Amino acid sequence: MSKLITLNIYNKNNNNASQNKKTFHETQRKLNLKNWIILCFLISLSLLLLSFIVTLSSNGFKDANLLWRINYKLLFIIPIASFGLGVSSYLIQQMSNNRLGDTSILGIGNVNLIAMMLLILAVDFNSTYAVNNYKNIFPFLFIIVSMITSLLIYLLSYNKRKNISKKFIISGIVLNFTFIGISYAINTFLPSGKAAVVKSFSTGFLDSSEDLTILVAIISFTIAMVWLALVYEKFKIATINNEVARGLGINTNNIYLQILLISGMLTGISYILVGNVVFLGMLAGNIAFNLYKKKYNFSIISSGLSATIILSLAYLVNSNLLSTTINTTSLIPLVGIPYFLYLVFKE
């Protein structure tokens, strides 16, 4: 009799376990479906807005061929620049576990501004040869400088026994304030004409870039995305549980160095295309986190898509509805500030 009771209890427990397993898989299926629906919506909205840029944006040009050439370039400039900023900011936020993390906080934007000032100081814009050299150097300079700055941040925060995920933000902030001081000092030596060029980079812009600049951006962006795909799994483990990562033999500091270099590279690409755009990456990274939390595969893609949607909307509103001389990128903080206030009150 006791054996029969024990057998019934065993069967009942097995049935409960099977039911729980079935319920778990069903829940996961529904969550995955929801995640894919959101991602497909973001992709569709991004493509729709980019198509509107070609068909609706006037840019003040009456020449249809010239208008098409400018808008055609924007189809590369906007998604590459914004996607890169969104992804790089999300990676920084996950590394530091700080929702306000951004490459601009690390000083990468300001060091590019210094590089821009030094380059412009050395260029004689009255010389065609000098201007051509400037255009050839321009797309490579900021990507290289951004990656060197990322390496410097890593070296300043390196600790053989501990991971750098907390210290690198502090190192970046210190560098950022240093770069701000240096940029103000150099700016005093710039003639008014050259200072205006620097100002456009410091506030961000959305103009037609040179063909070489766009080509370099496309190639560099592809390299950065492939590089990220190669280190993605190890990065996910390192940020979720550093101790488990070390137990699996993953060199977490090496992974963080690679992610910093990738983030710097993506920021440099964005800088050569649209200048220094504030709030965009930070905003997109937070949107992605709110949508997917720690689902890295969805979050990384959605952070880039969210940034593309925001920048595309800002461009369309500014060029078709406002039709003012206001810089398109200046509209982004108008969206970002209310969103962050909402997050503060929500908490």
Cα first-last separation, the chain: 57
CA nearest to 168, candidates 234, 253, 239: 253
Domain 52-346 has CATH 1.10.357.10: no
Q: Do the Cβ atoms of 194 and 124 come closer than 8 Å?
A: no
What ranges do the domains of the chain cover? 52-346
pLDDT tens for the chain, 347 residues long, are 555 455 555 555 555 545 554 554 555 566 678 888 888 999 999 999 888 877 765 444 444 554 555 567 888 888 999 999 999 989 988 888 877 777 777 778 778 888 878 888 777 777 777 777 777 888 888 899 889 988 888 888 777 666 666 677 777 778 877 887 887 787 777 777 777 777 766 666 666 677 788 899 999 999 999 999 999 888 988 888 777 778 888 888 888 889 999 999 999 998 888 877 877 888 888 888 888 877 888 889 999 999 999 888 888 877 766 655 566 666 777 777 777 676 666 65
Quote the CA–CA distance of 188 and 201 in Å, as a whole number: 16
Compute the CA torsion angle 156, 161, 165, 166 (nearest 10 deg).
-80
3-state SS, one letter per residue, for 225-281: HHHHHHHHHHHHHHHHCHHHHHHCCCCHHHHHHHHHHHHHHHHHHHHHHHCCCCCHH
Q: What is the CA radius of gyration of the chain?
A: 24
